[in-house]
Structure 1
Amino acid sequence: MHRLSNTVIGFLNLFTLLASIPIIGAGLYMAKDSTTCENFLQTPLLVVGFIVLIISLAGFIGACFHVAWALWVYLVVMLLLIIVLMVITVFGFVVTSQGGGTQIPGRVYREYHLQDYSPWLRARVKDPKYWNNIRGCIFGSKTCAKVATWTPVDYLRNDMTPVQSGCCKPPTSCTYGQDPVMMVQDPDCYKWSNDPNLLCYECDSCKAGVLESIRRDWHKLSVLNVVMLILLIGVYSIGCCAFQNTRRAETDYPYGHNRMTKVRPRWDFYW
């Protein structure tokens, strides 16, 4: 039974080793693609893929071939990964705790305001370098083309995604004539244009809609991170047992205090 942990760790790391191959492949494929949206994901995918590959390879070799130093590297990197994942999870819950949008009377969809989100997210989306990439991504995805043919009745009955609500129409505080007329002091009313290439892509409401989409996805990811942390801590505990078994096999220490030194290792040492 004391070798069961080695077997479990070996199978788990073989599975993650195989799983890292399509992750790296997806990152390399996106690196060759010029689409802005996919370029956002290529670096995280490559980093995660190579980290999983290295950790899994070290854990598999250490557990199956009784290589103590490989298991030691595996456990150290796994511990660092758990700590980093904890920090990211806590940070994710903090930055996604604000926002959610405002319900508009008589409408199904919500509207979003930039000041409702965390300062860190606002600072990121206000950076022209990042916003130009995001804007190009939204424009290339044809998100606003899906609501371009809506009638006024459709706006009353249909729901919208946060990006559609913020980027594809002016705020509700602006009324419609030939051009939107500002009813309250909302700067977005000046930024709105009927030009399909402009619309409200430079509005704060558009940036808020993007942040709302990020907030929702990040919140889901944070919940998933909690589950991953529980699994990683369990695997780390099994890995510690496997490391002790490997050290015991290398030094050939039997259980108990009265130890005997053997001339040759046990028959199953290299099995």
Structure 2
Amino acid sequence: MRRLSDTAVITTNAILALISLATLCYSVYLFLKGPSQCQRFIQDPLIVTASLLFFISSLGLVAALYDSYVIITIYLFLLFLSFILILVLSIFVFLVTNPSAGKAFSGKGDLQNWIRDHFLQGKNWEGIICMADSKTCRFGPRDVHFDDKHLSSVKFGCCRPPVECGFESKNATWWIVPATSTAEITGDCKTWSNTQSQLCYACESCKIGVFKGIRKRWRILLVFNLLVTLLVVLLYSCGCCVRHNNRVPWKRRFF
């Protein structure tokens, strides 16, 4: 049982250390390269997350390899804090991505509007519209119909004029007002521009598309968090076994 616990802790933490080190190297590469606005948006969270993960996994490796009772205790404490943090984050993500649950929890609907209020307003929205310097609005062969069945919510809302405008597409990057149109061009229809750096990034339809995209990705994040929670529980259980095995020698040494 002792060998099994040690092997599980060493193997899992070695894999996590390698993953976090690779992520940290990628973050440093972005920093040295001179990141675009989009890359800056993820650079700091990547560095912080990778650094913490590398530190915790390194502690686990050292504790298991050198039978250190003190280090394994610190490692288990950090794992416990990680478990609490991930659990709280998972509950929060569930509430903000499920309108009925968020409204029931907050009573006023504050949580169900959190993503919209936090990401789609002011400086945060300015950070998200870094799509203008990315490949978000490059259309492929499958996007030829330009409808919501073939485009992602972001592309449909930000990279083409709203359907109600009735614009005609000459190609993937150029739309015109039909000669037979008598409707007044207002709202998002007036905001639309064929200029690739503008398109419909300032449109309300773009914000709606980004909102749907964020909510979808956060729901995927929720599933990922649950898997990480199971991994942390497994590591904590194995770590407790390692700590128990190291407890007797530690007592003999100091008492």
* TM-score, normalization by structure 2: 0.79
CA distance in 1 between partners of 2:149 and 2:4 (Å): 57
Q: Supply the AA of the counterpart residue of 1:199.
A: L
Residue 61 of structure 1, CA deviation: 1.5
Deviations 1:188-235 (A, max 9, x none): 233223444332111111011112222211111111111111121011
CA distance in 2 between partners of 1:216 and 1:181 (Å): 38
Match of residue 83 from structure 2 = 82
Q: 2:147, 2:156 within 8 Å by CA — same for their partners in 1?
A: no
Residue 129 of structure 1, CA deviation: 1.4
CA distance in 2 between partners of 1:205 and 1:87 (Å): 32
1:139 maps onto 2:140 in alignment: no
Say which is worse superposed, 23-32 or 169-178, in terms of deviation.
169-178
Match of residue 174 from structure 2 = none
1:122 maps onto 2:123 in alignment: no
CA distance in 2 between partners of 1:217 and 1:200 (Å): 22
What is the 5 A alignment of 1:1-271? 1-32=1-32, 33-98=34-99, 118-135=112-129, 137-146=130-139, 154-155=145-146, 159-176=150-167, 177=177, 187-252=187-252
Say which is worse superposed, 29-38 or 159-168, in terms of deviation.
29-38
Residue 240 of structure 1, CA deviation: 0.9
* Cα RMSD (Å): 3.0
CA distance in 2 between partners of 1:181 and 1:132 (Å): 34
Question: Cα gap change, 1:142/1:248 in structure 2, threshold over 3 Å: closer, same or farther?
Answer: same
CA distance in 2 between partners of 1:160 and 1:140 (Å): 19
CA distance in 2 between partners of 1:157 and 1:141 (Å): 21
Q: Secondary structure at the match of 2:202?
A: coil
Q: 1:182, 1:189 within 8 Å by CA — same for their partners in 2?
A: no
CA distance in 1 between partners of 2:135 and 2:3 (Å): 56
Which has the larger share of helix? 2
Question: Cα gap change, 1:74/1:47 in structure 2, threshold over 3 Å: closer, same or farther?
Answer: same
Q: Supply the AA of the counterpart residue of 2:81.
A: L
Question: Cα gap change, 1:182/1:203 in structure 2, threshold over 3 Å: closer, same or farther?
Answer: farther
Q: 1:7, 1:64 within 8 Å by CA — same for their partners in 2?
A: no
Q: Secondary structure at the match of 2:200?
A: coil
Q: Supply the AA of the counterpart residue of 2:153.
A: P
Question: Cα gap change, 1:44/1:82 in structure 2, threshold over 3 Å: closer, same or farther?
Answer: same
* TM-score, normalization by structure 1: 0.75
Question: Cα gap change, 1:143/1:19 in structure 2, threshold over 3 Å: closer, same or farther?
Answer: closer
Residue 181 of structure 1, CA deviation: 6.8
Q: Secondary structure at the match of 2:161?
A: coil
Q: Secondary structure at the match of 1:160?
A: coil
Identity, % of aligned positions: 32
Q: Secondary structure at the match of 1:144?
A: coil
Q: 1:63, 1:246 within 8 Å by CA — same for their partners in 2?
A: no
Q: 2:9, 2:64 within 8 Å by CA — same for their partners in 1?
A: yes
Match of residue 259 from structure 1 = none
Residue 172 of structure 1, CA deviation: 2.0
Structure 2: which 5+ residue stretches go unaligned? 101-110, 168-176
Match of residue 108 from structure 1 = none
CA distance in 2 between partners of 1:142 and 1:14 (Å): 35
Deviations 1:119-138 (A, max 9, x none): 11111233321222222x21
Q: Which has the larger radius of gyration?
A: 1
Structure 1: which 5+ residue stretches go unaligned? 100-116, 254-271
Q: Give the number of aligned pairs.
A: 231
Q: Supply the AA of the counterpart residue of 1:79.
A: F
